């Protein structure tokens, strides 16, 4: 069995994380050991890690993957990981990229396994999902459960529709706050994202996602009212024409009741009849 670096010892050498900078380092060996196993069915020839921190997960990924690219925006931590894993870098097994994962060029990776910085979870997720690569990602528990939620539940919303448009979303483990140092204020969750094409078509992906975002600002209104009231957000110049073209069943439903397939049907009518700008 491989002996990994002690996560607490890594923190002692690198310096304790700053929660004000969204630095919560995973230190529970059992959780760290399990994370790569959730990607065991994925192609791990080139694993992307966002938010390498002190390298505790990087250590496991180097054992599970052929090659790892780790992105870290904190220059001190990036330098620490380069020094700590100098041998892996020399072998060509590890590349450390210093920079913001929202703006740096991403490599041609095969899957992503990361303990994401929670403040940028949404932006990072929707940078990754359109690439069509599988991922195992750590989130705040509430965010993860909203991603995976089914229609007609309290957690279901635009995040659910948007994430499930790209992938099957599965919460595979709840992680207590005690597994981190410093501890976050909330529980976390590990999510497995398996990309797949949706079983519906949309005329324009950007419009579909913008339309979903718009109507969910009025999730408890009927779709009839939500379409009319949010035209300034969705960019519809003729919302009444959209309402006239839809059947009463859809118009009487609330956004929180519509699964992604039915949202796609409404968005298609809106695109065809609403004169989107």
What is d(CA 14, CA 95) in angstroms, rounded to the nearest whole number? 18
Same domain assignment for residues 144 and 33: yes
Which of 153, 177, 195 terminates a domain? The answer is: 195
Q: Is 115 annotated as a binding residue?
A: yes
Among 135, 161, 195, give the residue marking a domain's end: 195
58 shares its domain with 191 = yes
Residue closest to 199 by CA, chosen among 265, 100, 108, 274: 265
- What CATH code is carried by the domain that includes residue 115? 3.40.50.150
For residue 22, what pLDDT is reported? 76
Instruction: Give the DSSP H or E segment for 271.
Output: helix 260-273
Q: Residue 18 domain-assigned?
A: yes
2 lies in a domain? no
Domain check: are 190 and 213 in the same one?
no
Is position 256 annotated in a ligand binding site? Answer: no
Task: Looking at the structure, tell me whether residues 188 and 211 fall in a common domain.
Answer: no
Same domain, 100 and 82: yes
Residues 186 and 209 in one domain: no
Q: Is 273 annotated as a binding residue?
A: no
The two structure tokens encoding residue 269? 């009518």
Domain that holds residue 92: 7-195
154 with 239, same domain?
A: no
**Cα–Cα separations (whole angstroms), residue 22 to 16, 17, 27, 137:** 12, 8, 15, 16
115 lies in a domain?
yes
**Residue 227 burial (10 A CB sphere; 0-12, 13-18, 19+):** buried
Q: Is 72 annotated as a binding residue?
A: yes
Considering the domain architecture, whether residues 135 and 239 belong to the same structural domain is answered as no
pLDDT by residue, tens only, the chain of 277 residues = 689 999 999 999 998 776 666 789 999 999 999 999 999 999 999 999 999 999 999 999 999 999 999 999 999 999 999 999 999 999 999 999 999 999 999 999 999 999 999 999 999 999 999 999 999 999 999 999 999 999 999 999 999 999 999 999 999 999 999 999 999 999 999 999 999 999 999 989 999 999 999 999 999 999 999 999 999 999 999 999 999 999 999 999 999 999 999 999 999 999 999 988 7
* Residue 84 in domain: yes
CA distance 182 to 170: 27
51 is in an annotated binding site: yes
Same-domain pairing of 269 and 167: no
165 lies in some domain: yes
> Same structural domain for residues 102 and 162?
yes
Is 191 found in the same domain as 209?
no
- Considering its fold, how many domains does the chain have in total? 2
Task: Determine contact, residues 46/67, Cβ cutoff 8 Å.
Answer: yes
Within a domain: residue 95?
yes
24 is in an annotated binding site: yes
In a domain, 200, yes or no: no
The verdict on residue 1 lying in a domain is: no
End residue of a domain, out of 167, 195, 223: 195
């Amino acid at each position: 069995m491989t002996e990994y670096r002690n996560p607490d010892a890594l923190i002692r050498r690198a310096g304790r994380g700053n929660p004000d900078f969204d630095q919560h380092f995973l230190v529970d060996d059992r959780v760290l050991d399990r994370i790569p196993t959730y990607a065991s069915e994925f192609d791990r020839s080139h694993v992307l890690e966002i938010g390498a921190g002190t390298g505790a997960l990087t250590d496991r990924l180097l054992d599970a993957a052929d090659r790892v690219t780790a992105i870290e925006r904190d220059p001190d931590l990036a330098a620490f990981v380069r020094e700590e894993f100098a041998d892996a870098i020399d072998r060509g097994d590890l590349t450390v990229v210093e920079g913001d994962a929202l703006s740096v060029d991403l490599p041609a990776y095969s899957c992503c396994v990361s303990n994401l910085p929670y403040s940028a979870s949404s932006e990072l997720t929707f940078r990754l999902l359109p690439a069509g690569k599988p991922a195992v990602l750590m989130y705040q528990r509430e965010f993860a459960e909203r991603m995976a939620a089914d229609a007609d539940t309290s957690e279901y919303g635009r995040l659910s529709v948007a994430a499930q448009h790209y992938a099957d979303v599965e919460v595979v483990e709840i992680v207590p706050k005690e597994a981190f140092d410093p501890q976050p204020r909330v529980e976390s969750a590990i999510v497995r994202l398996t990309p797949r094409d949706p079983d519906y078509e949309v005329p324009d992906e950007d419009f579909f996602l913008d339309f979903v975002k718009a109507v969910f600002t009025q999730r408890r209104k009927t779709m009839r009212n939500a379409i009319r009231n949010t035209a300034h957000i969705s960019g519809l110049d003729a919302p009444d024409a959209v309402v006239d073209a839809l059947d009463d069943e859809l118009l009487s439903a609330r956004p929180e009741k519509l699964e992604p397939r039915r949202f796609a049907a409404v968005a298609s009518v809106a695109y065809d009849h609403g004169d989107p700008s």
